[in-house]
Structure formats: C-alpha cells, structure tokens
Amino acid sequence: MGRAPTNTKQKLLETATDLVWRESYNAVSVDEICKKAGVKKGSFYHYFPSKAHLALEAMDVSMQEMKVCYDDIFSSTREPVESFKLMVQHVIDKQKEIEKELGHVCGCPFATLGSELAAQDEEIGHKIAEICAKKTRYYESALRALISKGLIDDNINVDTKAKEIFSFVVGQLLMARIDNDLDFIENNLESAVFNLIGVKEY
C-alpha cells in the first residue's frame, strides 16, 4: 500500500555513518546529513524521531555488518590462530579503505562515538558498551580454542584476556586516528596481539 518504498532511510543512515565517523556526533548537524544525502529535513524526521535515534539505528546497521564478518572470521571451523590473524588483517584493510574514502584515519566507530557520548547520552552509551561486550565474546571463544589445543597457558582468565585484547586493539586504533597514520598498526598490530595472547609460535 501507499507510495512506492524508497531508499531514503538507507541513504540517511549511510551518510550519517560516514559523517559521524569522520567528524563526531556533535560536530555533524541534521542539516548537514540531509544535505549530503540529498534529502529534505522533513523526510529525516519522517524516518527518525530524533538525531539520537538515527545514531542508534546506524549502530544497529554497523553491528549487523560486523556480525556477518566476525561470524566468518571466528567460525569454529577455523584454527583460532588463523582467526586472530584474519581479524587483525580485517581491521587493517577496513581502516585503509575508510581512510581512502573519508580522507582521514577513523579508528573504531563504536569506540569513537562511545568516547564522545558515554557521559552525554545514557542510551547510546549502554548500546555501545553492549556492542563492545559482544565483540569480546568472539575473542573469548577463540582463546578457549587456543587453550584446548594447548597453544596457550590454561591458567589464564579468558574473560580478562579477551577484554585486554579488545581494549588493546581499540587503543591502537584510537592512536592511529589521533596520529592520522596507519603505519604503526600495519607493522605491529599482529605481532603485538599474539604477544598479548601469549601464544608461543604462530
């Protein structure tokens, strides 16, 4: 029924993701998003009750994309060492692609947004905290696989180690964003992650 469905909502979500990722949530206005998406503001508020709700939905989209990718990378059919290698390579590739597209190293979108809004918008803050927790669960399963294969010490606390790896990667990405330079990550992230995991050889 009604008028033919359009891709307006999708365009708004994509544009907002790019803009907010490159700059920041508060630095990007609804007008700017609409202008770049070629959509009038009336349409924006037809699809989203507020700017914050757009951010919430944009995170859902990114989460789903991330899930598809990570379900493959951390598939139980893979060797856990390979999973971590693929994860690091995926992070690097994605960062390079975004750098080329948006003209700046952007880091982890969830971390950047979370850092900005954690103390400003409770709902967004909680959502990002959950997304980060979900990501660390991929690491946990791979760490358990490493233990069962005898590749790392079985005395380690898997939850703790997974959180450490996640914050390490996020921290490296944050520094890459600040330095606007991916060299350090390209040259060191993989070996640093394996050193942190504590796997002898890989």
Partner DNA sequence: AAAGTTGTTGACCGACTGGTCAATTATACT
Partner DNA sequence: AGTATAATTGACCAGTCGGTCAACAACTTT
Which amino acid type is present at position 197?
Answer: I
- Considering CB under 8 A, how many residues would be counted as binding a second copy? 46
Q: Is 134 in the site for a second copy (CB under 8 A)?
A: no
Angle at 108 between CA 8 and CA 27, to 5 degrees: 60
| Residue 61 near which of a second copy, DNA, none (CB within 5-8 Å, type-dependent) | none
Q: Closer to DNA at the Cβ: 119 or 201? A: 119
**What is the CA 152 to chain-centroid distance, rounded?**
27
| Residue 46 near which of DNA, a second copy, none (CB within 5-8 Å, type-dependent) | DNA
Which of 17, 18, 22, 51 is the binder for DNA (CB under 7 A)? 51
Which of 14, 23, 24, 52 is the binder for DNA (CB under 7 A)? 52
Binding mask 52-71 for a second copy (x = CB under 8 A): --------------------
Q: Closer to DNA at the Cβ: 3 or 100? A: 3
Sign for the CA dihedral angle at 11, 12, 14, 15 comes to positive
Q: Is 149 in the site for DNA (CB under 7 A)?
A: no
What are the φ and ψ backbone dihedral angles of 53, each rounded to 5 degrees? -70, -35
Which of 2, 76, 150, 183 is the binder for DNA (CB under 7 A)? 2
Q: How far apart are CA 80 and CA 35, in angstroms?
A: 45
* DSSP letter assigned to residue 6: -
In this structure, how many other beta carbons lie within 10 angstroms of the beta carbon of residue 46?
12
